Amino acid sequence: MLLFLILFPLVGAGIALILPWYQGRSWLLPLCAGLHLLLACLILLDPGPLGPWLGLDALSRLVLIVTSLLYLGCAVYAVGYLNQRRDRGNKVIVPCLLIFLAAMTLAISARHLGLLWMAVEATTISSAPLIYYNRNRLSIEATWKYLLLCSVGIGLAMLGMLFIAYAALVGGVTPVSLQFDSLLNSATLLSTPWLHGGFVFLLVGFGTKMGLAPLHSWKPDAYGEAPGMVGALLAGGLTSVAFLAILRAVQLMTAAGDGDMARQALLGMGLLSMLVAGIFMVRQPDIKRLLAYSSVEHMGILAIGVGIGGLATFGAMLHLVNNALTKGCLFLSAGNIQRAYDSKKLAKVHGAIATLPISGSVFLAGFLAITGSPPFGPFMSEFTILRGIFGSGHLWIGLLVLFMLAVVFIGMGATALTATQGEAVQLETDFKDSFLLVISPIVFLLIILVLGVYLPEPLQRALREAANLLEVTP
Amino acid sequence: MANLLLLFVLLINFYTLGSARLVACIRAVALQGALLALLPLAIHGPTGHALLLGVGALLFKGIFIPLLLLRTIREVRIRRDVEPFIGFVPTLILGLLVTAGAFIFADFLPLAHEHHEGLFVPTALATMFCGFLMLITRRKAITQVLGYLMLENGIFVFAVLLSAAMPLMVEAGILLDLLVGVFVMGIVLNQISREFSSLNTERLTALKE
């Protein structure tokens, strides 16, 4: 069943390659995405045991459902988007999007570190053509930076994995294996220096992919130049997958009794990410780069949540859901605004609400949500994380996070409000808000609104189980 | 036998760092990949696993990827790497220093008993550092790809120590990922040269704050 979930998008990609019908190719995306979500839900009802290669534990179940939901929204949007981009075609982007889905699913369900590595590298390769979709000088520069930095990062993650295998070898574990469950079982035997080295390289490698500062430099370029839906998939889906990979390393460190070191490293990188993001968001003249820095900030918040532990870990799990869906809403509506104005710079973009009533309003609401304004979901999760920070006695860290949240709110607000407020402008393009282009961001917005006021019991349980996986000590 | 191979790998690092001719650099990295392909055979003997790993590495690292890169530079007609950010001689000296550092550092590492003598760990570290140097100091996009390949070669040396821990499927997947990754990089390289009529990455500076 799980194997089918990974393989059928590849079949879809194969069909897309030979199908000579433009609309058919576009509609293949929501078809596969809908099937993926349906199957994912079915699997979640009965996850089955963890296999040696594939399997879903509480953490991966959470990431799987979020990614699948986000992907469906982006796939529906893609039909409308590709309709408008007939000049650019969809012969490459549709198969790549489907391969990307398969690679993400594989990375989420991998129970073997080697398989996880392969899948994450496959996401890098399959998303490079997505970033290059617009085929101009800027997008090529963004693609090159993305490809090179992420490949080197993933190379270092590979070294980290090898270090962990070597830790098992030196520790006298036989047989040496990178299978995750057997590593967890023999975690206390692993040689400590090699395990620490391995963790650092895994953190650096997958942290590059996730976009934690100071390894985030590809992020504004890639998110800025990629189409809106690709930005949404990268910022909501891929970052969650990379975060999952880092959490695997944290799980291993915790099982070996060195969880504190892992948490401190995450905490440090998280605070740095928020700081860097805050600095670059102030007076940011480009709405999509603004969203990219916001993504860096929220990766920082996730890392801080896990770094503090306890209640904050629960908050981080909730924030993973909220961040993914809010980023989906923001990137898709920003994509609409960019298409309408034929620009993403503040020099041209203003009065978006008056000009594009739906996309403009959704973008503004998304901005309020992502900066943690009630009653949206991110408010709840950020509040939970802050409660966790103050509750565990980290007064100064809590105050620092609050201060940086305020800086981000002001910095992001200046740009988002300038873009949305003001008189309507005469558009040079014939773009109009159409059903397919606005339904997904609206649905995402509604979901995070609901999550802000009411957390359903099954979700709460899923979040608790996921957080518990990170807390278990030997 | 294995140590002799690793010694050649180290020498190729220096040759690549000091050479300005791109074709020579690509051939050197190809030779390095081919030498590495012999490594599993040299330490594990001709077992099925080692044979398959060796053949895979030879095909991908020694043949396919270098051919791909040679084709790319023929299409864009560049021969030499002009004016790296740090000159060739200083990079060579830096390369020597990091190699010496790698040997000293490896002595302090808590290695498994059977690995204390060999050149494996210092070679792996030195090759990775040299790859990094290439990545950082060169201007041409293609030498950056070569730097990435050297980095991967360094990691491969370390991986051979552990090939028992890595099932064949994972190794095959890793090699395939590397191949496809470089293939995509090759396509992007072509696009860069078509768009900018050069492969200098310093032209790729429009995106910044």
Indicate whether B207 belongs to any domain: no
pLDDT tens string A45-101: 988 888 899 999 999 999 999 999 999 999 999 999 999 999 888 999 999 999 999
Q: How far, in Å, are A183, A252, B99, B167 from residue A175 at the CA level?
A: 11, 18, 32, 12
Indicate whether B179 belongs to any domain: yes
Show the tokens assigned to B142.
């293609």
Position B82 confidence tier, pLDDT thresholds 50, 70, 90:
low
SS3 A54: strand
Kindly tell me if the per-residue pLDDT of A362 is higher than 90: yes
Nearest-Cα distance to chain B for A144, in Å, is: 7
Indicate whether B171 belongs to any domain: yes
Nearest-Cα distance to chain A for B148, in Å, is: 7
Indicate whether A165 belongs to any domain: no
Average pLDDT over chain A, rounded to an integer: 93
Nearest-Cα distance to chain B for A162, in Å, is: 6
Nearest-Cα distance to chain A for B115, in Å, is: 10
Indicate whether B209 belongs to any domain: no
Indicate whether A232 belongs to any domain: no
Average pLDDT over residues B34-42: 91
Half-sphere exposure of A241 (CA within 13 A, CB side): 31
The length of chain B in residues reads 209
Show the tokens assigned to B29.
């990295």
- Domain of residue B25 covers 2-201
Position A474 confidence tier, pLDDT thresholds 50, 70, 90:
very low
Indicate whether A439 belongs to any domain: yes
Residue B81: the pLDDT is 65
- For residue B206, list chain A residues with Cβ-Cβ distance below 8 A: 137-138, 141
Average pLDDT over residues A266-286: 94
Which residue carries 């489907």 as its tokens? A98
Sign of the CA dihedral running B79, B82, B84, B87: positive
Number of folded domains that form chain B: 1
Indicate whether B125 belongs to any domain: yes
For chain B, list residues whose CB is within 8 angstroms of any CB belonging to chain A: 109-112, 128, 135, 141, 144, 148, 151-152, 155, 158-159, 161-162, 164-167, 170, 173-174, 177, 180-181, 184-185, 188, 191-192, 195-196, 201, 204-207, 209
Amino acid, res. B198: S
Kindly tell me if the per-residue pLDDT of A280 is higher than 60: yes
**How many whole angstroms separate alpha carbon A90 and alpha carbon A28?**
11
Contact call for B188 and A144, based on CB within 8 A = yes
**How many whole angstroms separate alpha carbon A5 and alpha carbon A12?**
12
CA angle in degrees (0–180, nearest 5) for A297-A263-A452: 45
SS3 B97: helix
Kindly tell me if the per-residue pLDDT of B199 is higher than 90: no
Indicate whether A237 belongs to any domain: no
pLDDT tens string A126-175: 999 999 999 888 999 999 999 999 999 999 999 999 999 999 989 988 78
Lowest average pLDDT, out of A215-219, A279-283, B103-107, B190-194, goes to: B190-194
More confident residue, A1 or A10: A10
Indicate whether A111 belongs to any domain: no
Indicate whether B196 belongs to any domain: yes
Average pLDDT over residues B7-33: 92
- Domain of residue A462 covers 258-474
Number of folded domains that form chain A: 1
Indicate whether A70 belongs to any domain: no
**How many whole angstroms separate alpha carbon A402 and alpha carbon A396?**
10
Kindly tell me if the per-residue pLDDT of A324 is higher than 80: yes
**How many whole angstroms separate alpha carbon A334 and alpha carbon B47?**
56
pLDDT tens string A386-425: 999 999 999 999 999 999 999 999 999 999 999 999 888 8
Chain B residue with CA closest to A142: the answer is B207
Indicate whether B80 belongs to any domain: yes
